Structure 1
Amino acid sequence: MPKIVLIEDDRLLAENTKTILELNGFECFMEHEGQKGIQLIKTTCPDLVVCDIMLDEIDGFEILREVRATHNFLNLPFIFLTARADFGDKRKGMNLGADDFLTKPFMSRDLIEAIKARLTISAQKNASTGVEIRKSAVDVFYKVSNHEYLTPLNGIVNLSEIVVKQLQNHQIHDAITLVEGINVSGQRMLRITRKLLWYNQLSNYLNPWQNTNSHTIFVIDLQQKIINNLKRSSTKNIDIILKSSISSLSGYDETHIEQIFTEIYQNIFQYADPLYTIYSDARLENNMFVLIVRNQYKADYTFSTYDITPFFQAHNPKDMNGTGLGLYIVKEWVKSVDGYIEVKGENHLFEVLIKIPINYM
Structure 2
Amino acid sequence: MVRILVIEDEEILRSNIVDILEAEGFEVDQADNGRLGVQLAQSRSPDLVICDVMMPELDGHSVLSQLRQDPTTALASFIFLTAKATAADMRQGMNLGADDYLSKPFLRTELLEAIATRLSKRQSILKLQQQIEKLEQSNYLKDEFMSTASEELRGPLTNISMAVEMLRKSPNVQKMQRYIELMRSECTRELRLINNLFDLQRLEAGSRSLRPEVINLQQRLPTMIETYRQQAQTERQLLQFTLPPYISSMVTDVTDLEQILGELLDNACRYTSPRGKIVLEVSRSPMPVGLGEPPCFMTTFMVSNQAELAPEDVAHLTALFQDTEPATSNRRGLGLKLTHKLVKRLRGDLQVTSDAGWTFFVVQLPNYADPS
TM range (shorter): 0.3 to 0.5
TM-score (norm 1): 0.45
Q: Which structure has the bigger radius of gyration?
A: 2
TM-score (norm 2): 0.44
